[in-house]
Amino acid sequence: MNLAFNPSQTPEVDGLVVLCPPGDYADPAKPLEGPLADYDDALEGHLGHMAGHRSFQGKKGQQVALHTLGKLPFTRLLLLGTGKATTAAQWLRLGERIGEAASKGRWKTLAVLPLQRPAADHFEPLVRGTLLGGYRFDRYKAQSEDEPDPVATTDVTFIGPDQTPALQGVGSLADAVCLARDLVNEPAGVMTPTALAEAAQALARDDDHLACEVLDEAACEKLGMGLLLAVSRGSTEAAKLIHLTYTPPNPDPALPKTALVGKGITFDSGGLSLKPSASMKDMKCDMAGGAAVLGAMGLLSGFGVRCEVHGIVPACENMPGGHAYRLGDVIRGLDGPSVEVTNTDAEGRLALADGISYARSLGCERIADLATLTGACLVALGPEVAGVLGSPEKMCTDLLTAADRAGEDMWRLPLVDGLKDQLKSQVADCKNAGARWGGTITAALFLSKFVKDTDWVHLDIAGPAWLEKPKPGRPAGGTGFGVATLIHWLTKAEGEG
């Protein structure tokens, strides 16, 4: 998609979207101002009439749409209320609405006119959202004879001063988010651990600074990855340890070697601790952390990241086969304590533990992991917000700053020492699950036993990684959550200190 800037308020495009801040656009005693007044004159007062009819006041989500009937250079005009948009997340959502409108309207060319310019940090999320708003995953749906062929928006023009420097790589970032969404949205019978590994290998083939190694079960067993292999035992699909290595062309020796570790459970039945059907049906999304890591790793060279980065995805299925690991089993992983299994549906932390230990064995000095880890996080923070836990403080605050800039909502949770007792075992060094209360924290405390003294931040993305029902500008399914935050974290000075 081509991005451009143009000072003209009357571009020749299929559709023009005007972003309207809160105001009284519906009062006939107060005529429209600025470019809206020009459009209203050309439309012989029809725009003002429609604004009044819809009681349009620029509130969040309010819309007025009309055909210009050849009286203006653009065919369709959409007024979109911004509300009091003050965060990157809010501007991202506005962009998604714009992209959805263009997609549904089958506009090949689109122009966007903000009546109130967004802050410099909010322009990138707005544009990224616009690029993402037309995303669909419909490759398995037959097209209706009455349904027109889809039309992709090829050109987007933003009316106003040139913001090109602030948008470096925004198209690639949107593409990476879409890649992560595609990986998550594929049926679990298609997106197996092997298929996920092949997607990683494809990324490396297209990037001279990216290498991919895939460890099969024999290699994992030789290394001692008993935790990952235990989770995989009940499945006929073989586990894979995916290892992407990014070597920067201009490395900065002062920056720490970094690992991004993503949970790659391509389907989670719960194992012998079987989930009910309603909880299992969307469990193809349990590899969303791994998908986000792959999406981010493919961007590093394009964004000029200057530290060495390792992308690690322990990938497997959790199934209740005859060889499945059992409650009461005691397992040892690549490094760290022995683990008593008290719940086979607490499998993600086991696979992650071996992934984290592998990152430490590579000499990584800081680790960020992403996982759809606990339903408790969804209960605590809702479906839109990820939980952030870890140590030291600066690493967590840097990550949260990056999330704010990316427009991805996250909230810091504490690592409460008092909950460590829940993980004590009578037969092993620890249990893999605690009591019902504080489940997000106890899961992170379990991971911390394998992180040891390495700088580490844990993102529990159980809520925002998957959208159960569509929302404006966002279809149901995988969201690609986390990709933008990781890139903002790795490319900003705050994330490099």
Structure tokens, 338: 């022995």
Q: Checking DSSP bridges between strand 410-412 and strand 386-391, what pairing results, if any?
A: parallel
Considering 76, 97, 349, 366, which one is annotated as catalytic?
349
Q: Are 480 and 295 in contact (CB under 8 A)?
A: yes
Instruction: Give kind and range of the element (H or E) at residue 349.
Output: helix 348-361
Residue 243 β-bridge partners:
213, 312
Q: Check if 275 is active-site.
A: yes
Cα distance between residue 257 and residue 348, in whole Å: 24
CB atoms under 10 Å from CB of 384, counted, come to: 14
| Helix H or strand E encompassing 81 | strand 76-81
CB 52 within 8 A of CB 28: yes
Q: Is the dihedral of CA 471, 474, 475, 477 positive or negative?
A: negative
Q: E-assigned strands of 372-452?
A: 386-391, 410-412, 430-431
> C-alpha angle with apex 364: 363 to 365, nearest 5 degrees?
110
Distance between CA atoms of residues 160 and 115, nearest Å:
10
Q: Name the token pair of 291.
A: 């998908």
Report the candidate in 291, 297, 290, 293 with the shortest Cα–Cα distance to residue 207: 297
The whole-angstrom separation of Cα 415 and Cα 222 is 33
H/E run at residue 439: helix 439-451
The angle subtended at Cα 294 by Cα 94 and Cα 241, nearest 5°, is 150
Q: Residue 213 and residue 197: Cα distance in Å, rounded?
A: 9
Q: What are 169's two structure tokens? A: 């790589």
Catalytic (active site) residue 452? no
Whole-number Å distance between alpha carbons of 266 and 381:
24
**Prior bond to 35 cis, omega within 30?**
no
Q: Among residues 59, 257, 275, 412, which one is catalytic?
A: 275
Rounded-to-integer distance, Cα 242 and Cα 226, Å: 16
Residues 356 and 367: their CA atoms lie apart, in Å, by 8
User: Which residues are known to be catalytic?
Assistant: 275, 349
